[in-house]
Structure formats: structure tokens, C-alpha cells
Amino acid sequence: MNVLIFGAAGMLGSDLRATIPAGVTVTGIDIGEADITDRAQVASALEAIRPDWVINAAAYTAVDRAETDRAAAEAVNTVGPRFIAQEAARWNIAVAHFSTDYVFPGTADAPYRESDPVAPINAYGDTKWQGEEAVRASGAHALILRTQWLFGVAGKSFPRLMWERALARVPTRVVDDQRGRPTYTRDLAAATWKLVTQRASGTIHVTNGGAPAAWYDVAREVFARAGADGLLSACSTADYPTPARRPAYSVLSTERLESRLGAPLPEWRDALGRFLDELTASSP
């Protein structure tokens, strides 16, 4: 199987390249080779490679900046995926695309299912929802994977920031009233390859397993590992205002994923431990 990845240099893109299964040939490109907001560049990449699947890991992920820079977010998160999926449909190429828990309002008290009504909580979430819809409308064989709270060695993330602060012994306050499930891009990438290999389609939620967490719980694991527990304290969302709204509860139900793969992804604490192992092994 031949696969083209857009956004291959990003956090998830890097782990997709690190977990390529046997029998799959990958061409990974990023904005330097093809800008997904330019239809002609998308078309010529697809035409040159003629893959069986295209995986779109490119995105505008600056959630707070998207509030005031909506046009840029929309170009990458809505228009780019539309170009990719429409061009893919012309060549009968299947599409895998990623979306976010921020398509939901975040006011639930039980995990969101794929079929639950959306109401994006912020501008970024809205551009990602429009991107999902554009991919669905394209007519291409489409797999849309919604995920959340990503961390991986090839990008910036909350666990990495916490690790840096804990090592530098910086006192840190973290919100304890937003709940979700942290997700390791290494595990998300492995699940993506399984679903692509199964030729799955439709919308599927993919996150690490385990009990839902608050950001504070994640930070506590990281600070404990660095031997800096005493430097961490909890605060509320009201104490930590951000330009973009964040959901109080945006846990994604992964039942559909579990029935496709036969098991949930590893628990997030296990994933976080492996991430910190990888981070420490790769630091100078």
C-alpha cells in the first residue's frame, strides 16, 4: 500500500512516519513541499504519487491565536482538507483526516459519542468541524479520527511544558476543572495505521485509555517523576483565562474504536511514562 502524508513534519506526522507498518510505503511531505491551502499544489502531489491513501496530519493548531486569526485557521483546517479530499476523490484515493474534541461544547457529563451533536466551543474547533464536513462531502472514501490532548516528542505539548518546568524547579499552577484524556501521538499513529490497513471509514474517536483526567492530574504525574511534587498546585479555569474557551468536560467515547481494534489504546498514564522515557532518551 502506498500512502502520502501531508503535515509529515508535525508532532503526529512524525510519529506516523515512526510507526509505518510492514507492506506500507510512505511519502511524507510538509508545507515546504506542498501547501495544502493551494489546490494546485495538493493536486500535483497526489498526481505525482498516486497513493492508495492520503493522510492529512497538517493543521493550524494554535488554538488561542485562531480566535483572532480565524482566516488563517480556516485556510488550513477547512479549505486545505476540502482540497485534499476533493482531489483524492477524483483519483479514487482514500482519505484519513484528524479532528478534535473541540467540535463539542464540553458541557457533557458522559463521554461524547461520534454521533452526538456538535457545537464547537471555539474558533479552532469550528474550523476543524467545517474541515470534517468538507471531507465528508467530497465523496472520497473518508476516515475522520477525532482526538484530544496530544503529546509527542516531535512537538510542543502540555506534558512537555510541565516536564521542562519540573526540571527547572519552577512553581506551577494547573487547572483541575477541565477533564479529558491525554493521547500519545505514538499510540494514535499506531491506531491510525491499523484503521487505514482495515480500510475503515466514517468518524472514529481515538484517545488513550484510562480514567478521564484533569490537566492537574497529568501535571502531577510529570512533577512526581521529576521529584518536584511540592512545586505543583491546583487552580480553576477562572484563575487562568485564555483567549479561546476550553471545555470543562470533553472526554471522547472510544467504544467504536475498541470494537474495531478489539481493545482500547494503552492507559494514558502508561503512555505518559513512555513519552517521558522517550523525551529523556532523546535529550542531549
Ligand X SMILES: NC(=O)c1ccc[n+]([C@@H]2O[C@H](COP(=O)([O-])OP(=O)(O)OC[C@H]3O[C@@H](n4cnc5c(N)ncnc54)[C@H](OP(=O)(O)O)[C@@H]3O)[C@@H](O)[C@H]2O)c1
**Residues 95/135, Cβ–Cβ less than 8 Å:** yes
10 lies in the site for ligand X, by CB under 6 A: yes
DSSP H/E element including 239: none
Helical spans, DSSP H, in 138-183 = 158-167
149 lies in the site for ligand X, by CB under 6 A: yes
Task: Give the CA count within 13 Å in the CB-facing half-sphere of 13.
Answer: 20
Q: Which is nearer to ligand X, 228 or 247 (CB)?
A: 247
Cβ neighbours of residue 230 under 8 Å, at least 6 residues apart?
none
**Residues 43/87, Cβ–Cβ less than 8 Å:** yes
Rounded least distance, CB 98 to ligand X, Å? 3
Q: How far is CA 284 from CA 33, 224, 255, in A?
A: 30, 22, 40
Q: Binder to ligand X among 4, 16, 28, 35 (CB under 6 A)?
A: 35
Q: Binder to ligand X among 26, 43, 54, 61 (CB under 6 A)?
A: 61
Choices 144-152, 162-170, 221-229, 230-238 (CB under 6 A): range interacting with ligand X: 144-152
Name which of 182, 174, 175, 181 is nearest 152 in CA terms: 182
Question: What is the C-alpha separation between 25 and 12, in angstroms, rounded?
Answer: 17
**Residues 247/101, Cβ–Cβ less than 8 Å:** yes
130 lies in the site for ligand X, by CB under 6 A: no
Q: Binder to ligand X among 36, 55, 191, 196 (CB under 6 A)?
A: 36
Annotated catalytic residue within 124, 184, 216, 249: 124
**Residues 185/15, Cβ–Cβ less than 8 Å:** yes
Q: Binder to ligand X among 53, 83, 98, 163 (CB under 6 A)?
A: 98
100 lies in the site for ligand X, by CB under 6 A: yes
**Residues 118/252, Cβ–Cβ less than 8 Å:** no
207 lies in the site for ligand X, by CB under 6 A: no
Judged by CB under 6 A, the number of residues near ligand X is: 27
182 lies in the site for ligand X, by CB under 6 A: no
Q: Binder to ligand X among 43, 54, 59, 228 (CB under 6 A)?
A: 59
Q: Is there a catalytic annotation at residue 124? A: yes
Q: Binder to ligand X among 12, 43, 190, 200 (CB under 6 A)?
A: 12
Q: What amino acid positions are annotated as catalytic residues?
A: 124
Binding residues (CB under 6 A) for ligand X: these are 6-7, 9-13, 30-31, 35-37, 57-61, 76, 80, 98, 100, 128, 147-150, 155
